[in-house]
Structure 1
Amino acid sequence: MKIAYQSFLLLTVAWVTAGNADESTPPNILFIFADDVGQEALECYGGQSYSTPHLNELARTGMTFNQTYSMPVCHPSRLTLMSGKYPFRFGKVSWGDYPAKAEAQTFSSLLQHAGYKTGIAGKWQLCLLADDPLHPQRMGFDHWDLFGWHEGPRYYDPMIYRNGKVRIDTKGFYGPDLYVQSVIDFIKTNREQPFLAYYSMAVAHEVTDDLTPPVPHGPLGRYDNYAEMVAETDRNVGRLVAALDALELRQKTLILFVADNGTPPEIIIRAEGQELIKVPVVSRRNGQDVPGGKKQLTDAGTNVPMIANWSGTIKPGQVVDDLVDFSDFLPTFMDLAGQPLPDGLELDGVSFANRLRGTGSSTRSFAYCEEAVLPKPGGVEPDGESSGLRWVRTQDWKLYNDGRLYHMAEDPLEQYLLTAAHDDERRTAIRSQLQGTLNDLGKPAADQLPIRAQD
């Protein structure tokens, strides 16, 4: 405790003496994108099942966001993240694909044109790299080390594409170690110029489930369990922060940690021949058991953790309720880079850079989410029926397109449906405003109007 307290005093003094970073100098961006990690997995969000000391420290010395919203599963989240647009804007996009017409306008492409060096390691999931090994280059990355999504293992003896070619030096290695080292090497090489280092984590996603034979077990004769993968998530963050410290880059670098969707309800723990054995994932948060909510449109599936840390610019210990959704990252990164958006580029996102700089809050007035209705590669429709649900929400209220309204400030688990037949005057106004936003989303982004739902 004494050491932690002394560290806090030193950091506070450093922040006060350094003042805000020079806004004329664009920051480096270390973007850490965790896979299948809900808020309940992190101690800094009230989690009690897993130890996350490095993420706790990142939150304690930075800014924690309470209301960041993803899509309910990974591919639509990545599509929104990279493009600054909601998935429905692109029509039907195959699972694990990216619309060719939007490749030149990803956040990585735009930062690259703004003078940033760009690198990524870990998960891609925007194409099958065997079919299109230079896809990351067209999407704006100068360097990449990416595992072959449904082409090979991501953990033990991983199959990794480096700049278009499969690596032959991964036998006997653990994938996350190689991805983290790739990010660190990229940062070292490019530390004299602005950089975007994007660590798209493998953890805490289960192993690939559709290969014959199944991917290799780890040294314990099974796959990593969820607790082990959360520990690995935290360890990876610690290694990257330590690297920035060693290179004296902390005051020049925004660290942004966010997850792609909620925790899975179950994960594959081992293979018995071709049969994959799964176990449920239930975590403890603030004294309550929380089953994994991935694939759900509830908060358990879409209200994800986000921590921002920028030594000398972000004041320590802040917790904010600004609405953020995944369309906001592209305009935020461009704002931080001091670059205007290209003429004619219409986005759903709004910048929250002023919140990071400490000069204001985000202007976002609603968040949006939609159920994944994506065909598999080759145009095959996904298994099962899809209702095409979507919602808009403010901090306090949430409306689905099937008419369900919830007062999220009092009912975060969505247990008490508010029907239109029983609306009072206040709820009628709120419902009308939110419904108007849902209707308005069908218009071009430039023609949309913001909403301010009543408290």
Structure 2
Amino acid sequence: MSSGPLLVVLVLACSLLSARCAPNRPHIVFILADDLGWNDVGFTGNSDLQTPNIDTLAYSGRILSHYYAQPTCTPSRAALLTGKYPIRTGMQGYPLSPSEPRALPLDHKTLPEYLKDLGYQTHLVGKWHLGYYDWKFTPLARGFDTHFGYMNGFVGYYDHYMNAKNMSGHDFWRGTQQQKHLKGRYMTDLLTEETERLIEAAAENENPIFLLLSHLAVHSGNPGKDHEYPEDDIKRFSYIKDENRSKYAAMVWNLDKSVGRVVKALAKNDLLDNTLIVVTSDNGAQTRGLYANDGSNYPLRGLKFTMFEGGIRTVAAVWNAQIHGQEYASLTSLFHVTDWLPTLYEAAGGDLTDLSGMDGKSQLTSIANDGENDSQYNLRSEILLNVDERLGLSGIRYKNWKYLNGSYLNGSYEDHFGDYRNELYTYSMADLAKSEVAKDLKTKFPSLPVNNKAHVSEIRRENTIQCDKKDVRSKCNLVEGPCLFNLHLDPCEQENLYSEEQDIAIILQAKLDTYRSQITPQLNTVDDPAGNPKLHNDSWMPWRGGSICRRDQCPRSAATTFFSSKLCFAGVIGIF
């Protein structure tokens, strides 16, 4: 790239996101779906579902084509909020169970805490799932000014109860106040309405906001009610003959409508010009098995819980006014969930030298790059996928190579699932143009990428994964031994090159050994019977009491009662 275009990119990065270059720090709205599969949005090329709002936002901004998260929800959220691999925090194991006395350790500063240092108001709407057995581990004590949502990994979409391990309890909160009166309201709508309310309030406040909309959608509901959705929405998916897939389509449709409503709220309150929007998922879909939602990662291999591409390579897109409509919509370099903290911190005007011990790297310039030469901005050649020392699982990606060792549940989630190709469905350009996002973007930007059929077709083609390998000499079976893939040639992980590429395998094994030597032992522990909702008015709640006060505002004392903690916090954010 010549010095001229490079200068343009650097200026764009400055105007795009950095508060050090402009007086108006950006609002940040981070929309995190739960268990949304690679094949569940339109811009990846194969889906039989309808996501016109998500797609329009993606085509208009930047698609992160090689974005990686963790295999399950708790580790992914820990990585997002700390900028560190889960092995640094002890959160690399199985997701938190509802009565497990475990939480994200207090000695790790979180993304909302960093942003509060820069003057941001911080809000969590939806799922937490990083521990709540003591109030000091809950969102209001970990950097969020407000929380409207639930503590556990999922709840029923309408009754807001979580049923697990022969126990059942209500789990829906506004701060420290239970929201049982909202029973019967659809969770996706409730979380969206709260987000709209917070955006409207932000328009009246001089401070920027960081808003993490952490959706329940499209995680399965309680056993027996895996798919919950407004009944009127199922009709539009009559072309999908698989009944469960059509129900899931209705759930995704409501997630997509939520994205449209959020963008509309930003436009209505004149905040769209100065907002950075992220849409992504915490991990891949779970087509079958535990907490199956009938999502699809196809043609990627594997499901949630695995380190195959289907479990960890997730959909992701970023939009901002300054990157709207650029010619190149796809960022092809590696991007990891840990990168969000330094990226957003720099976006908010923070000095990266403030950060230490981070595995994440700021991808600010990568996002601003016009796509002419991604390699100049590729800050990552390596991603630790995970090390689970208890289950004997490990994985790493290095450049185009990927190494995996150890099998989860004897390989039951490690095949190719969810081939829902549908001859009755045709991708609709007209639906993109009619989407809520298109309507609101058009008020600010007369030229919309979704009105350019050639542009949309090219971006979809770029993000459509083809699995062409037919003559495979050695298939991967992790039950039998390690696997090595060249993802550039084999993105669907069909051919195991471990035996014939031993030099590469040895290098990657050595890298994993280095990470193993740095592990903080995982914190997973046995459930505490005292957490049973029957002991707490049929509610999942911080059963060991403690204080909700933040570290910099109230002293932490084991003797602090729940009552006194409420009094202390009342003066901080005026909840009571």
Structure 1 residue 209, shift from structure 2 partner: 4.2
> Does the aligned pair in 1 maintain the 2:286–2:292 contact within 8 Å?
no
Structure 1 residue 361, shift from structure 2 partner: 2.3
Q: Distance in 2 between matches of 1:280 and 1:258?
A: 17
Higher helix share: 2
Structure 1 residue 371, shift from structure 2 partner: 5.7
Structure 1 residue 169, shift from structure 2 partner: 3.4
Instruction: Choose the corresponding residue for 2:287, options 230, 248, 265.
Output: 265
Kindly tell me: are residues 154 and 414 of structure 1, through their superposed partners in 2, closer, same or farther at Cα, counting changes over 3 Å? Answer: same
Paired position in structure 1 for 2:90: 91
Kindly tell me: are residues 306 and 395 of structure 1, through their superposed partners in 2, closer, same or farther at Cα, counting changes over 3 Å? Answer: farther
Instruction: Choose the corresponding residue for 1:255, options 277, 282, 299.
Output: 277
Instruction: Choose the corresponding residue for 1:106, options 92, 105, 110.
Output: 110
Kindly tell me: are residues 267 and 417 of structure 1, through their superposed partners in 2, closer, same or farther at Cα, counting changes over 3 Å? Answer: closer
Say if 2:429 is the partner of 1:350. Answer: no
Instruction: Choose the corresponding residue for 1:196, options 210, 219, 230.
Output: 210
Q: Distance in 1 between matches of 2:136 and 2:179?
A: 12
Question: What amino acid sits opposite 1:238 in the alignment?
Answer: G
SS in structure 2 opposite 1:189? helix
> Does the aligned pair in 1 maintain the 2:36–2:295 contact within 8 Å?
no
Instruction: Choose the corresponding residue for 1:119, options 104, 118, 123.
Output: 123
Say if 2:321 is the partner of 1:311. Answer: yes
Question: What amino acid sits opposite 1:38 in the alignment?
Answer: G
SS in structure 1 opposite 2:182? coil
Question: What amino acid sits opposite 1:40 in the alignment?
Answer: N
Paired position in structure 1 for 2:512: 438
Question: Unaligned stretches of 5+ in structure 2?
Answer: 1-11, 97-101, 161-170, 235-243, 371-375, 407-481, 520-576
What does 1:293-442 align with in structure 2 at a 5 Å threshold?
293-316=303-326, 317-341=328-352, 345-358=356-369, 361-370=377-386, 387-401=391-405, 403-420=482-499, 422-423=500-501, 428=503, 430-442=504-516
What does 1:8-19 align with in structure 2 at a 5 Å threshold?
none
Say if 2:70 is the partner of 1:71. Answer: yes
SS in structure 1 opposite 2:492? coil
Structure 1 residue 265, shift from structure 2 partner: 1.9
Q: Distance in 1 between matches of 2:221 and 2:76?
A: 19
Kindly tell me: are residues 139 and 284 of structure 1, through their superposed partners in 2, closer, same or farther at Cα, counting changes over 3 Å? Answer: closer
Kindly tell me: are residues 356 and 23 of structure 1, through their superposed partners in 2, closer, same or farther at Cα, counting changes over 3 Å? Answer: farther
SS in structure 1 opposite 2:130? coil
Higher strand share: 1
Kindly tell me: are residues 300 and 344 of structure 1, through their superposed partners in 2, closer, same or farther at Cα, counting changes over 3 Å? Answer: closer
Q: Distance in 2 between matches of 1:328 and 1:279?
A: 29
Paired position in structure 2 for 1:281: 294
SS in structure 1 opposite 2:119? coil
Say if 2:79 is the partner of 1:80. Answer: yes
Higher CA-based Rg: 2
SS in structure 1 opposite 2:321? coil
Question: What amino acid sits opposite 1:400 in the alignment?
Answer: L
SS in structure 2 opposite 1:263? coil
> Does the aligned pair in 2 maintain the 1:254–1:308 contact within 8 Å?
yes
Q: State the identity %.
A: 27
Paired position in structure 2 for 1:240: 262
Q: Distance in 2 between matches of 1:329 and 1:200?
A: 15
Kindly tell me: are residues 348 and 401 of structure 1, through their superposed partners in 2, closer, same or farther at Cα, counting changes over 3 Å? Answer: farther
Q: Distance in 2 between matches of 1:167 and 1:119?
A: 17
Say if 2:57 is the partner of 1:52. Answer: no
Question: What amino acid sits opposite 1:167 in the alignment?
Answer: Q
Paired position in structure 2 for 1:157: 159
Say if 2:147 is the partner of 1:147. Answer: no
Question: What amino acid sits opposite 1:139 in the alignment?
Answer: R
Paired position in structure 2 for 1:450: none
Q: Distance in 2 between matches of 1:52 and 1:296?
A: 26
Paired position in structure 1 for 2:551: none
* 4+ aligned runs moved over 6 Å, structure 1: 214-219, 221-224
Structure 1 residue 341, shift from structure 2 partner: 4.7
Most deviating of 184-193 and 214-223: 214-223
TM-score (norm 1): 0.77
Question: Unaligned stretches of 5+ in structure 1?
Answer: 1-15, 269-277, 374-385, 446-455
Question: What amino acid sits opposite 2:118 in the alignment?
Answer: A
Say if 2:201 is the partner of 1:179. Answer: no
SS in structure 1 opposite 2:192? helix
Kindly tell me: are residues 225 and 102 of structure 1, through their superposed partners in 2, closer, same or farther at Cα, counting changes over 3 Å? Answer: farther
Paired position in structure 2 for 1:379: none
Question: What amino acid sits opposite 2:498 in the alignment?
Answer: T
> Does the aligned pair in 2 maintain the 1:154–1:202 contact within 8 Å?
no
Paired position in structure 2 for 1:11: none
Question: What amino acid sits opposite 1:83 in the alignment?
Answer: T
Kindly tell me: are residues 387 and 113 of structure 1, through their superposed partners in 2, closer, same or farther at Cα, counting changes over 3 Å? Answer: same
1:392-448: CA deviation from partner (whole Å, max 9, x where unpaired): 21342112356532111111222211134x33xxx72x4454334323334669xxx
Q: CA RMSD in A?
A: 3.3
SS in structure 1 opposite 2:315? strand
1:69-106: CA deviation from partner (whole Å, max 9, x where unpaired): 11111111111111111111223677434333335x11
Aligned residues: 394
